[in-house]
Amino acid sequence: MLETLNYIFNICILIGIVIPLLNLLTGWFGGFLDVGVDVDVDVPSADAGAASGAGTNVGNSAVIPFNVMCLCLFLVVFGALGHIAKLFMASPLLTVLLLAACVLLAALAYWGLYVLLIKRLKNSDSTVMSLDDYLGKRAEVTLRITQDSNGTISVKDNTGAPISFRAMMDPELKDQMPDTIAQGESVIITELDNENKLCYVSLTLKDFKNKLEQKANKGNIDP
């Protein structure tokens, strides 16, 4: 029996380590693996039971927090504690009690990671800036931009963290711009191509304001 448990513990640890590594690799190559999932299930409550007893069919929907990374932590903790616990499995009853304790401690680790980290990260999603929020923002050129080729800019989000975007000179303002915008120069984001994640830039805020005025005037003239 101990050999079987040893095999199970090793498999749990292996799965708990391999999945985050796969996520790291897929994230590096484009982030194709979505590891955060909330499962919505119907959980009966006391109120629901009372209502049902009164002849009303009422259910109470609750969300069971399920997250793949938390599950991986659960598996690793369970496997590691299992290897320690098997040293003290002298009887069937003691084996069951120790396995139950391993499951409980692993579940506490799962819940702790979800509440302290995953849930907070999900709650912070509402404060993340969309691409449109960068319109009119000042950015720094990190890879030079020319009249004929795109470059890269870095702009800070609402937390102060730098975000990089591909950038090109605004086609409507190219006549007013030099042949090259060198690395380290400051630019203004004048337009955004959300589909291609591409920013159009100008050198001055005045150019950006003039472009907005021209668009507004054109809108007033067009029927």
pTM of the model: 0.48
In angstroms, the CA 202 to CA 145 distance is 11
What are the pLDDT digits (tens) for 159-180? Answer: 677 888 889 998 888 888 888 9
| Beta-sheet pairing, 186-193 with 138-143 | antiparallel
Q: Give the phi and the psi of residue 156 in degrees, each rounded to 5.
A: -90, 140
In angstroms, the CA 81 to CA 102 distance is 6
Longest dimension (CA), the chain: 89
Top CATH class, 131-206: mainly beta
Give the torsion sign (CA, 124, 130, 135, 139).
positive
What are the pLDDT digits (tens) for 65-76? Answer: 778 888 899 999
What are the pLDDT digits (tens) for 41-71? Answer: 444 444 444 444 444 444 444 455 778 888 8
| Beta-sheet pairing, 162-169 with 198-202 | parallel
